[in-house]
């Protein structure tokens, strides 16, 4: 079938829904591979940062400094400034839409401390994160979905986008696969916004949901659009051991501390000023160092997150979800027993390069693609640089989701639908038929498990040239094996095997982009730690990586925008 | 340990009627039932269809009937079952089966939408936030834990009999907005709930409360809605 809208948004997480709300007066269609409110934004726990100063003095300049320093000076400072200055408005707007924020004694939005957020340019932690217990992402997702319903936004739930359609160099829609019927649809639009989230599922240990397979990243990459800063993959320090489920930084923001096997508060050694509220890259590295040097708990590969000093009332009021995770999955009660944690793959700082209004940039000079936008985790503005601070991701999706929406409204008011050829639809049909008909000898699961384990081994927190090269070789052979996969499910309706096969193709491609980008950055910065190049090298690498797919992947670079804060040594 | 599963199967395209299929898999004590189902699908039978996403009880995708009781497969652990026990896995009741454990959720979201699930305000928004006291926030705090997994609605004896009943999930969301001090849509929302297939459809069977994976006091909240309707009628007289 053919459907036509002015705007197609791919992804129904927070970035997509915020843009949808902005464009709700236009004819907008939201396509998502999952049902409404199932998107992974819902798993965000801790909060949204804004210098509204409800609990103590705060300023956007401090927020900007923290974000830039947190990024290890790789973030583009003009974009960071736009984001943090817009933060108070973004939070009040959510409150007006009905988000059930926790409250201070005088009825204002409550705020708490979070990793890397400080007052007076690093003096001490500041309460900057606006929160709804430890379910902030979920309630914001619910609220924005509700706002979309109110405004009559059209949803295409359980539709999986197979390709972006370009006509004369302009993006004019997508081909999507209806999971329930197995039909292919051509969705025509004057503009397309990619808001497809991250790709954490390429790693064995991750806080990400099964749907986080990097589809949008690879759809762009396959369409001759480069990917920016893909080597920067964030490992959140506190994943519930051994599953990797997120245990929010809010636990430490509320006063929880990390403790090693000797009972020491080891973060005092790594970050003497802010201790357990250091940024994520620093804490994850510290935890792994403690474990490597034999100070894990009981000699094992985890440390303890101790909340026992918080008291039951505070834990129940503000950390209900993570407490329930510990009870359900480990059978322990965090009120009385420390939680075992290990770093878990959480977020990709890199992504589809965009300007501050979501326009996708197709080269290092900043040329914009026509009709194509990206926002949220799949995009790289870049406001997170080499390491994102906690609670800045919800802020990113809200600010840049909205800004994309505004820019798109402007564009679609001035443009017409183009006549699209039926070729992309035919190619997609051919691809599906080919996958279903191929009689190979490989199973998806085996390839996927190998991929996840090699990414953990060679490309997680610590990296080196030999490992990255091995990783690339192995990805190469997994790609070969992928060409011989065999699908047993030949059904039309809810054929998840077919969808996972397509996801796996995207995942392998993204792995290669990450490994190659990491191999070429011969320095250590933020979340990218090279054992063979342990220092940050501003002289050579204070620049963004761009990887182009081409016939053979090619790496280029573009400069970082530095406005207010010159790079300094990063000490907390 | 070896775990035995008996799983409901039905593909309307090729099966005349539903049937049950047995599977056995080796599982660790701390594995989730969702992990077991995934491994059955990945290693034994890729045609088995069920929804899932986050894997830790936040997205609400993997509601199903486990040994007769609606629950999230990602919240149940292997160690809570016995080795020789056959674990019965079936789709949620009330909804039409599309394939195996996948049910048609459209009617669920339509009913959800019918109660105006959004903050209704008349006055112009202030420049900063609207104030709300800690106590006012506490009134609806339990309700915001709802993840729309539909376990409550699927377990409701009234929903099982009467298709038109709006169901506990939509009522919980109605409660969330009715008891939010910022909301000014009380009257319009009450009008939508004050009928036999609305709040009055609830026959206080407590099944919803018992199955709720997020421990929401669903039945009590529906009772509060009923009280609120009566009070609003009284004040009108």
pLDDT, tens only, A385-444: 999 999 999 999 999 999 999 999 999 999 999 999 999 999 999 999 999 999 999 999
Query: Does the structural domain B2-103 have CATH classification 3.40.50.720?
Result: no
Distance from CA of A123 to the nearest CA of B (A): 28
Chain A: nearest CA to B94, how far in angstroms?
18
| Domain spans of chain B, in order of start | 2-103, 106-236
Report the C-alpha gap between A524 and A531 in whole angstroms: 8
pLDDT of residue A1: 84
Does the domain at residues B106-236 carry the CATH identifier 3.30.1330.10? no
The answer to whether the CB atoms of A38 and B61 lie below 8 A apart is: yes
Per-residue three-class SS string for A64-107: HHHHHHHCCCCCCHHHHHHHHHHHHHHHHHHHHHCCCCCECCCC
**pLDDT tens digits, residue range A436-472?**
999 999 999 999 999 999 999 999 999 999 999 999 9
* Contact criterion met (CB < 8 Å) for A209 and B182: no
Among B54, B105, B180, select the one facing A209 at the smallest CB separation: B54
Answer yes or no: is the ipTM higher than 0.95.
yes
Is B200 an 8 Å CB contact of chain A? no
In B, which residues are within 8 Å of A496 by CB distance?
41, 46, 49
Residue B130 forms contact with A (CB below 8 Å) = yes
In this predicted structure, the answer to whether residue B237 has a pLDDT above a threshold of 80 is no
One of A280, A452, A549, A570 is an active-site residue; which one?
Answer: A280
pLDDT, tens digit, 9 for 90 and up, residues B18-74 = 999 999 999 999 999 999 999 999 999 999 999 999 999 999 999 999 999 999 999
A169 neighbors A355 (Cβ within 8 angstroms): no
How much is the pLDDT for B236?
Answer: 77
- Contact status of A367 with chain B (Cβ, < 8 Å): no
Q: What is the pTM of this model?
A: 0.98
Question: Scanning every residue of chain B, which has its alpha carbon at the shortest distance from the alpha carbon of A92?
Answer: B129
Mapping DSSP to helix (H, G, I), strand (E, B) and coil, where does residue B5 land?
strand
CA atoms within 13 Å, Cβ hemisphere of A287:
29
| B210 contact A CB<8A | no
Contact B175, B141 (CB under 8 A): no
Q: Show the domains of chain A with their CATH numbers.
A: 239-343 (3.90.700.10), 423-543 (1.20.58.100)
For residue A132, count CB atoms less than 10 angstroms from its CB and return exposed for 0-12, middle for 13-18, buried for 19 or more.
buried
Of A23, A105, A161, A71, the closest CA to residue B131 belongs to: A105
Whether the CA torsion A394, A396, A400, A402 is positive or negative: it is positive
How many percent of chain B have pLDDT more than 70?
100
pLDDT in tens, B216-236: 999 999 999 999 999 998 887
Check A328 against B130: CB less than 8 A apart. Answer: no
Q: Does A321 touch chain B if contact means CB atoms closer than 8 Å?
A: yes
Half-sphere exposure of A24 (CA within 13 A, CB side): 16
B11 CB within 8 Å of a chain A CB? yes
Q: Which residues of B touch A502 (CB under 8 A)?
A: none
For residue B123, what pLDDT band results from cuts at 50, 70 and 90?
confident
Q: Classify residue B189 by its DSSP letter.
A: H
Q: Given this model, what pLDDT does residue A479 score?
A: 98
Burial letters A22-33, b for 16+ CB under 10 A, else e: bbbebebbbbbb
Chain B hits for A96, Cβ within 8 Å: 121, 125, 129-130
Residue ranges of chain A with pLDDT lower than 70? none
- Which residue has 């990491």 as its token pair? A518
CB proximity under 8 Å: B 65-104 to A:
75, 77, 98-100, 102
* Catalytic site includes residue A280: yes
Q: CA A204 to CA B43: how far, in whole Å?
A: 17
B197-200, Cβ contacts within 8 angstroms, sequence gap of 24 or more: B197/B162, B197/B164, B197/B165, B197/B166, B198/B166, B199/B166, B199/B171, B199/B174, B199/B225, B199/B226, B199/B229, B200/B226
pLDDT tens for B67-106 read 999 999 999 999 999 888 999 999 999 999 999 999 999 9
């Amino acid at each position: 079938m053919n459907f036509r809208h002015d705007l197609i948004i791919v992804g129904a997480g927070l970035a997509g829904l915020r843009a949808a709300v902005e464009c709700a007066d236009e004819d907008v269609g939201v396509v998502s591979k999952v049902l409404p409110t199932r998107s992974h934004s819902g798993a965000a726990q801790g909060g949204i940062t804004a210098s509204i100063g409800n609990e103590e003095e705060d300023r956007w300049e401090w927020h900007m400094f923290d974000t830039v320093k947190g990024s290890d000076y790789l973030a583009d400072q003009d974009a960071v400034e736009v984001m943090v200055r817009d933060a108070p408005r973004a939070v009040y707007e959510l409150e007006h839409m009905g988000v059930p924020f926790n409250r201070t004694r005088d009825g204002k939005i409550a705020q708490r401390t979070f990793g890397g957020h400080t007052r007076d340019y690093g003096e001490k932690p500041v309460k900057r994160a606006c929160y709804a217990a430890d379910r902030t992402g979920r309630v914001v997702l619910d609220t924005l979905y509700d706002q979309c319903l109110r405004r009559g936004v059209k949803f295409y739930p359980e539709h999986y986008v197979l390709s972006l359609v370009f006509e004369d160099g302009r993006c004019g829609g997508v081909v999507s696969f209806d999971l329930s019927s197995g039909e292919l649809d051509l969705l025509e639009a004057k503009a397309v916004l990619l808001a497809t989230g991250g790709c954490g599922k390429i790693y064995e240990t991750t806080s990400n949901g099964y749907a986080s397979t990097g589809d949008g990243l690879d759809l762009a990459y396959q369409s001759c659009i480069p990917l920016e800063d893909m080597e920067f993959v964030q490992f959140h320090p506190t994943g519930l051991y051994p599953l990797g489920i997120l245990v929010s930084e809010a636990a430490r923001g509320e006063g929880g501390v990390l403790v090693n096997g000797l009972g020491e508060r080891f973060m005092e050694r790594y970050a003497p000023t802010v201790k357990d509220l250091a940024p994520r890259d620093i804490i994850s590295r510290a935890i792994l160092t403690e474990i490597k040097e034999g100070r894990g708990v009981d000699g094992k590969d985890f440390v303890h997150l101790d909340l026992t000093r918080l008291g039951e009332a505070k834990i129940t009021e503000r950390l209900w979800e993570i407490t329930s995770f510990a009870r359900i999955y480990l059978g322990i009660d965090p009120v009385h027993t420390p939680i075992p944690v290990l770093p878990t793959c959480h977020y990709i700082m890199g992504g589809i390069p965009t300007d501050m209004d979501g326009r996708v940039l197709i080269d290092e000079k900043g040329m914009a693609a026509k009709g194509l936008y990206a926002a949220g985790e799949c995009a790289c503005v870049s406001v997170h640089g080499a390491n994102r601070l906690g609670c800045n991701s919800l802020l990113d999706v809200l600010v840049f989701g909205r800004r994309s929406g505004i820019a798109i409204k402007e564009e679609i008011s001035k443009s017409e639908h183009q006549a699209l050829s039926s070729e992309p639809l035919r190619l997609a049909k051919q691809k599906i038929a080919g996958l279903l008909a191929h009689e190979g000898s490989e199973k998806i699961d085996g390839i996927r498990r190998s991929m996840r384990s090699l990414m953990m081994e060679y490309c997680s927190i610590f990296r080196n040239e030999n490992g990255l090269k091995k990783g690339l070789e192995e990805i190469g052979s997994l790609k070969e094996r992928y060409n011989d996969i065999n699908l047993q499910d030949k059904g039309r309706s809810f054929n998840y095997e077919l969808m996972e096969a397509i996801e796996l193709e995207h995942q392998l491609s993204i792995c290669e982009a990450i490994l190659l980008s990491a191999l070429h950055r011969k320095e250590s910065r933020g979340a990218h730690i090279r054992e063979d190049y342990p220092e940050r090298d501003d002289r050579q690498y204070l620049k963004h990586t761009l990887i182009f797919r081409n016939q053979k992947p090619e790496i280029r670079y573009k400069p970082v925008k530095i406005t207010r804060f010159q790079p300094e040594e990063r000490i907390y | 340990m070896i775990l035995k599963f008996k799983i409901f199967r039905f593909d309307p395209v090729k099966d005349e009627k539903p049937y049950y299929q047995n599977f056995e898999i080796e599982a660790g004590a701390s594995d989730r039932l969702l992990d077991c189902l995934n491994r059955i699908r990945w290693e034994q039978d890729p045609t088995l269809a069920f929804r899932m996403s986050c894997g830790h009880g936040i997205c609400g995708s993997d509601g199903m009937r486990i040994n007769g009781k609606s629950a999230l497969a990602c919240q149940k652990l292997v160690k809570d079952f016995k080795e020789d026990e056959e674990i019965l896995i079936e789709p949620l009741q009330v909804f039409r089966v599309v394939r195996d454990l996948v049910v048609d959720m459209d009617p669920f979201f339509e009913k959800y939408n019918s109660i105006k699930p959004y903050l209704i305000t008349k006055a112009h928004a202030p420049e900063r936030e609207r104030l709300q006291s800690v106590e006012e926030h506490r009134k609806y705090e339990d309700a915001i834990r709802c993840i729309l997994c539909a376990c409550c609605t699927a377990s409701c004896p009234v929903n099982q009999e009467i298709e038109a009943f709006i169901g506990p999930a939509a009522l919980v969301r109605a409660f969330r907005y009715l008891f939010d001090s910022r909301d000014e849509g009380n009257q319009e929302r009450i009008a939508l709930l004050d009928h036999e297939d609305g709040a009055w459809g609830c026959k206080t069977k407590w099944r919803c409360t018992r199955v709720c994976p997020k421990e929401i006091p669903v039945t009590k909240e529906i009772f509060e809605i009923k009280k609120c309707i009566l009070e609003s009628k009284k004040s009108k007289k």
